[in-house]
Amino acid sequence: MITEFDGVLGGYAEQPLDVPEGSVVVAGSGKEQFKTFNVSTAAAILAAASGTPVVKGISRSVSAVSGAADILDVLDIRAVDRPEALPEMLDRFGIAFVSYPLFCPRYAARYDGVFGALNPASFFMPVATICVRARGYVLGLAHRDVTLAAAALRRIRPDLTTGVVASTELSPGEMIDEHGDVGTRRLARLADGLITCGIRQGQEPAQSWRHAVAHRPTHRGNAALVASALKPGDDTPVTALVELNAALVVAASGTDIDEAVDLVRRARRAGHAIRLLSTLT
């Protein structure tokens, strides 16, 4: 058992931290075949600006140029330095960024950054290690078997009563760990102890879409794209992708999905998201 190997994680697993009601844990597997910019970081900020408390797991990059922690460094946003600081950060800003090793230092010291591709732990560890009493979770998974991940999390974290695992296949074998608006989209939803899986087939992404949302070659370039995704203005492939994933986070807090879509769109267009980013920095 991982909790037996890592006593700190075992302790938090037995007694998760209390956080504000309706909080959602957001995490991603990484290791995609097509590298998008840091969509989940922008989506987490937008969801928080829409009124949903968000606990966002972060790490340095393993398989891309920039991980979420690298982006936060450029934006001068501080992650919490100890798990017990999470509730205060959520009360103050509505969002808290937390490095996984804070909850599992021994596990992270041995395995963090070791795997350049998906491994069995990728299906549950990004969420399972953030031991807070949240309402739900959103896990981005660069793999087709979203149902397996949802089933693993239901068993490992029965306290999380609502959740969604999202994956998108842009072309055969080309995965991203976000809910896309193109390609084959898979969602496994957990509600009332039951898991349902939906698959929607869309068009293959155009080159213009790929260029717009692609991971940039520098930390600064990726940070700039995160910031631009939160600004008021016309819809673009970047803002559409971020809004879609932010809506999943808001819905995981118990909000109707149609209302969630409306909330995140209004939060961006009214400038709430970019103001929250400015406050965090």
pLDDT (tens digit, 9 = 90+) per residue, 172-222? 989 999 999 999 999 999 998 899 999 999 899 999 999 999 989 999 999
- Residue 150: name the closest of 102, 118, 97, 198 by CA: 198
Domains in the chain, CATH or no CATH each: 2-280 (3.40.1030.10)
Cβ proximity of 150 and 123 under 8 Å: no
Q: How far apart are CA 61 and CA 70, in angstroms?
A: 7
Judged against a pLDDT cut of 60, whether residue 25 lies above it is answered with yes
Task: Kindly state the greatest CA–CA separation across the chain.
Answer: 51
Judged against a pLDDT cut of 80, whether residue 3 lies above it is answered with no
Rounded to the nearest integer, the mean pLDDT of the chain is 89
Judged against a pLDDT cut of 70, whether residue 155 lies above it is answered with yes
Q: Which two tokens stand for residue 26?
A: 């957001």
Q: What is the dihedral of CA 116, 64, 121, 126, to 10 degrees?
A: 160
Mean pLDDT of 75-101: 92
- Residue 270: name the closest of 238, 242, 231, 235 by CA: 231
Cβ proximity of 59 and 100 under 8 Å: yes
Band of residue 32 on the pLDDT scale cut at 50, 70, 90 = confident
Share of residues in the chain with pLDDT > 90 (%): 66
Which of the residue ranges 2-11, 20-29, 39-48, 135-144 would you say has the lowest mean pLDDT? 2-11
Judged against a pLDDT cut of 90, whether residue 50 lies above it is answered with yes
Task: Report helix, strand or coil for 56.
Answer: strand
Q: How far apart are CA 49 and CA 249, in angstroms?
A: 12
Mean pLDDT of 224-241: 95
* Strands (E) located in the chain: 24-28, 54-58, 95-99, 136-140, 162-171, 174-176, 184-191, 194-201
Report the Cα–Cα distance between both ends of the chain, in Å, rounded: 39
Q: What is the pLDDT of residues 268-281, one digit of tens each?
A: 999 999 999 999 98
Q: What is the pLDDT of residues 91-145, one digit of tens each?
A: 999 999 998 888 877 766 666 655 566 677 778 888 888 889 999 999 999 999 9
Q: Which two tokens stand for residue 202?
A: 């869309």
- Residue 75: name the closest of 271, 214, 280 by CA: 280
User: DSSP letter string over 159-185?
Assistant: T--EEEEEEEEEETTEEESS--SSSEE
Judged against a pLDDT cut of 70, whether residue 2 lies above it is answered with no
Mean pLDDT of 258-270: 96
Q: How far apart are CA 12 and CA 86, in angstroms?
A: 13
- Residue 34: name the closest of 224, 211, 229 by CA: 211
